Structure 1
């Protein structure tokens, strides 16, 4: 049979090229573009050039001779010779036709399908590979808006899909029904097959192309399914992938990792430089989302590990929030480690709390002392007008955190000094204003230059003495708020009045006794 066909082709090659014969085994519907295998000799008549394609002579000499007399782009039932070559999976014929000027983008009548769509639908990997190498438009669409990539997903041709993915086909396109590659795979129940095909490509180090990351993002895809091996390949693509890309709702890959509880993916993204403080449309960040996660502790460990081992602008932001958590929980070692660098210990968290405020609220006096030694400021107020001292007192008056804060504030007050009223002659004279201050090195209380105004205190107390009250019994200010007295080592009693009432007087007394004690016994 083959010999007879060759003889016919050879004889016809020297005769008229428009002679039609019925040797074909393929037929197709002009309305749908669908082809049918009908058996040899049962198809509609076509010219001998088409016979030379379907019954290709392996040297290609007959087809080459025929193409000298006829264009490869003359349509027959809405198709051209190269469409027929693809249908017959004849790679050599395809090569000859392309070399002879066959149009690789000629659409099939009724469907708008190009060569690449036909090869994808038939699952012809070798043919598809040849078309890709020949420069076919990978993202051309049929009349229904489908690309070759979508067609591969619809017909579950995994090898063809991988080929297109590696070659840069666009995963971010949709068809006329607003379906993308992923949604099409879902419709034909091939979600797992598509997932594995994508992972196989990504693990070779290929970042799949997507013109619209809200439709498909390689980074988001592998993060959601928690494939760390693939994610490692992606984050290595410096300059190719944006680790902080966001979807239509502002979620980034690191947020997705937190929401899904993927600790290993979260660690990989954070150490690769993903911004954990990036916000979505709802004001959430990876940090704030991690607080509500069942794996909150694991995420905190990752952030702490990063903050302790990295020194980048991104790690500074992470350190702030890690420091806040550690201070709140009373983790002294972590706070100490995080404050050894040049971190701003007064930075507020998303709720306006500084690390000192959180340590004070938790009653962690030792941590309060450490933070103060690193430069933490006690009188910072948040939006609710709360200070560290106020928060410490939520645990009751007299706790360890309150003691540390009051000691620090009292020491700062007396060493910095302030204007006070000083009473003369045990309250008999008129009070006058003095600058009262203590000298840290020797513990002297000073309100003037003479030795009589530079004293060492034995003790101090809020309120007046009995004799003072008697001496000022006719004065309205005998119990003036802010009144306190000191007794010197020479048993001299001196009364002062500060602004701020009893609370400030208590702070003066506390500071005087503290600095005096430290001067005598050391800190």
Structure 2
């Protein structure tokens, strides 16, 4: 424990006080010293003083026999060992006075020396010889010296035979009080000559120093215990060194003198008298406190002084004793004792006042009587964690509102008080509230310049799983983590084990905030600890990383109190966590959310998806790589599409064959799905000339004959791109459509008797390399070859047919010599019949599959 000392060199504590009394009476209390200026060592006075200092009574008697009156009152300069004192300040206990002895070269008379040394017999002989008991030297009267040293016998002689003046008695009485000499004080009080101002000064001084017997003697003497005198008032914590006018009770309170307080209260001391000691003033019109300096605040009574200056267990006892005689709801300029305790940072006093019935919800009004704020706001603004926890333990509403609709948590965030903010959050402060200007806690923190620190504090609470938000559109933990790009926090919130989501290490450094220490969350208490040194270690963090958190007195939230985290939660703009990551380019966090099941098809209030958001900030290609990799790994749910995302179309657009194969394997139904533009995946591949994708889709059962929004098939869309882009795609699609047409069949007109008969409808097809156009025997041909245009025989037999009709006509000829003729609905279909028949026939001849 450290002590602070206040040194006082002059042992004559009442000197200035007596001078002031004399000035009032217009007379001097001192007699001018008599005697020579230059000392004569052979004189009787010189020798008499030497014998007195040596306590040589025989020598004194010998010199007195020959000494004159002038010699008896001789004044010489000698070394005297004088009792001195110094005040020792203690931040957690009472002020005490330490005494010591110091040698001073000072004036002295034989009587002063004898009184100082306590030789009563010598004092008596000197007085009898004419020594003046009222002769004052630099260090006071002989009675002063006797009182300082506590020589009651010598003092008794001076009182009874020295005919002491009022001044000599009053100065001795003050010194007896200062030096804690109760016997000497009692002798002086019995003289009944000391005046009230002196007695009151002695009472206030003794009360300040803790001299219980002195105080008791003065009280018994009938001194007014409610008097006020000016003394030096001192305190270690908060620092105070001030000459102030105060009562004995206030002096004892500031010095933390519990026995003195009890004695004064027992004697009827009142708590009503006030003193100007405090350093805080209160602007009632603006409802805010002002630090004005010690002694410049509003005057207050003993209970208020105890709240400000009494610390430690003893201070609490003093406050409790005072409050038995005080009203806990007392106000000064709109402030209550509880508010004053919060302002002064006295947590034990706050606890005592709450136990005595002080309301933690009582608002501090301004001069307009408008409700301003509760004490918890001041604790949050000052960042006093001990007081904050005390108020919370006392049942304070931590989500109360002030006249600006701010909560205590908002106040702590606005003023950069992270420890207080952490304690409020884990105790249940609602992060989903907004103030009167519709600003959230995070918005207020950003505007006040504390955004980064506040976010770290909030992050610590989220990692601990202890938070509360009544409105997810204002604050949602996952949306917060996504905004920050915090991969570790996202995984923590979604309760993902290390093996649940595999994110390539290089992805973790692509977004701001994604390389931070996983346990770098601050100012949040661990749910299993209430000590100031409690720590929290997260499940996935290295064992060497432990972050200290402050305690919270109110029952803290536990992870069980927090609702499950919804991965598709939305903010006020309809953004999901995935969209927020895409907007900010947090690719590592984006991938964790994607692989955890976040929907790529979610639309925000502006109609944007995660992909369009990534495109807006220039990171579409990087986001696409993440999505395609997740699709290839089967880490994205693809069983259904949404208006905002079509997985197979996306893979087709980015020409990723592996991703397409993974989607088709997981959900084959996507193969012919139409996107928002009415296109199928095969149409997209055809437009882009992605032949591998076209083949994959056709093999998966894609219907290439489907038509898009302009009525075009995939083949037609491919042909629009030109031969350089679509040659291979066109061939793949044409081969597929031709084979499918031939193998499944389609209605055409068959010409009978080589065109001489009337055409009629047939549905020809090929099976195992054989061309069929009916079920009856003979309506089939094997080993065939097809030709477009019908040939010379048909043109001869139907000379009136137009060239357009002939262009839709094709012939199928068996190598054995028989030929049949057909007319399709279009030239493209006719070409497809010819190409398909020849392709299937060739495959059959080569032993391949031909349907």
Q: TM-score, normalised by structure 2?
A: 0.56
Preserved contact between residue 50 and residue 81 of structure 1 (Cα < 8 Å) = yes
Segment drifting more, 352-361 vs 21-30: 21-30
Segment drifting more, 179-188 vs 405-414: 179-188
Preserved contact between residue 320 and residue 347 of structure 1 (Cα < 8 Å) = no
Report the counterpart of residue 457 of structure 2 in structure 1.
Answer: 197
Give per-residue Cα distances to partners, 1:36-65, cap 9 Å, x unaligned: 455666544434333443343734344334
Task: Kindly state the Cα deviation for residue 414 of structure 1 after the two structures are TM-superposed.
Answer: 2.1
Preserved contact between residue 153 and residue 184 of structure 1 (Cα < 8 Å) = yes
Give per-residue Cα distances to partners, 1:106-129, cap 9 Å, x unaligned: 111216221111112222121112
Largest Rg, 1 or 2? 2
Indicate yes or no: 2:719 matched with 1:466.
no
Indicate yes or no: 2:780 matched with 1:454.
yes
Report the counterpart of residue 389 of structure 1 in structure 2.
Answer: 715
Report the counterpart of residue 489 of structure 2 in structure 1.
Answer: 230
Indicate yes or no: 2:152 matched with 1:152.
no
Indicate yes or no: 2:415 matched with 1:133.
no
The 3 A distance-change label for structure 1 pair 360 and 64 is same
Task: Kindly state the Cα deviation for residue 446 of structure 1 after the two structures are TM-superposed.
Answer: 1.5
Task: Kindly state the Cα deviation for residue 486 of structure 1 after the two structures are TM-superposed.
Answer: 0.9
The 3 A distance-change label for structure 1 pair 129 and 315 is farther
1:20 to 229, 253, 273: 273
Indicate yes or no: 2:50 matched with 1:50.
no
Task: Kindly state the Cα deviation for residue 89 of structure 1 after the two structures are TM-superposed.
Answer: 1.8
2:690 to 339, 364, 372: 364
Indicate yes or no: 2:657 matched with 1:342.
no
How far apart are the structure 2 equivalents of 1:510 and 1:490? 20
The 3 A distance-change label for structure 1 pair 281 and 121 is closer
User: Counterpart of 1:112 in 2: which secondary structure?
Assistant: strand
How far apart are the structure 2 equivalents of 1:112 and 1:166? 25
How far apart are the structure 1 equivalents of 2:590 and 2:613? 12
Q: Over the residues paired in the alignment, what is the CA RMSD in angstroms? A: 3.0
Aligned length: 519
The 3 A distance-change label for structure 1 pair 299 and 171 is same
Segment drifting more, 32-41 vs 154-163: 32-41
Preserved contact between residue 474 and residue 572 of structure 2 (Cα < 8 Å) = no
Task: Kindly state the Cα deviation for residue 460 of structure 1 after the two structures are TM-superposed.
Answer: 0.6
How far apart are the structure 2 equivalents of 1:479 and 1:141? 87
Report the counterpart of residue 35 of structure 1 in structure 2.
Answer: 289
What is the correspondence of 1:141-180 to structure 2 with a 5 Å cutoff? 141-180=401-440
The 3 A distance-change label for structure 1 pair 182 and 418 is closer
Query: Structure 2: any 5+ residue segments left out of the alignment?
Result: 1-207, 211-251, 496-558
What is the correspondence of 1:282-431 to structure 2 with a 5 Å cutoff? 282-291=606-615, 293-310=617-634, 313=637, 316-317=640-641, 321-343=646-668, 344-396=670-722, 399-431=727-759
Task: Kindly state the Cα deviation for residue 388 of structure 1 after the two structures are TM-superposed.
Answer: 0.9
2:604 to 246, 257, 280: 280
User: Counterpart of 1:326 in 2: which secondary structure?
Assistant: helix
Preserved contact between residue 421 and residue 434 of structure 1 (Cα < 8 Å) = yes
Segment drifting more, 332-341 vs 121-130: 332-341
- The one of the two structures with greater contact order (alpha-carbon pairs below 8 A, sep at least 6) is 1
How far apart are the structure 2 equivalents of 1:150 and 1:504? 74
Runs of 4+ aligned structure 1 residues displaced above 6 Å come to none
Preserved contact between residue 72 and residue 101 of structure 1 (Cα < 8 Å) = yes
Preserved contact between residue 638 and residue 666 of structure 2 (Cα < 8 Å) = no
1:267 to 586, 591, 613: 591
Query: Structure 1: any 5+ residue segments left out of the alignment?
Result: none
Segment drifting more, 15-24 vs 423-432: 15-24
Give per-residue Cα distances to partners, 1:156-209, cap 9 Å, x unaligned: 2222222223323233444445544334434443333333433444444445x4
Q: TM-score, normalised by structure 1?
A: 0.89
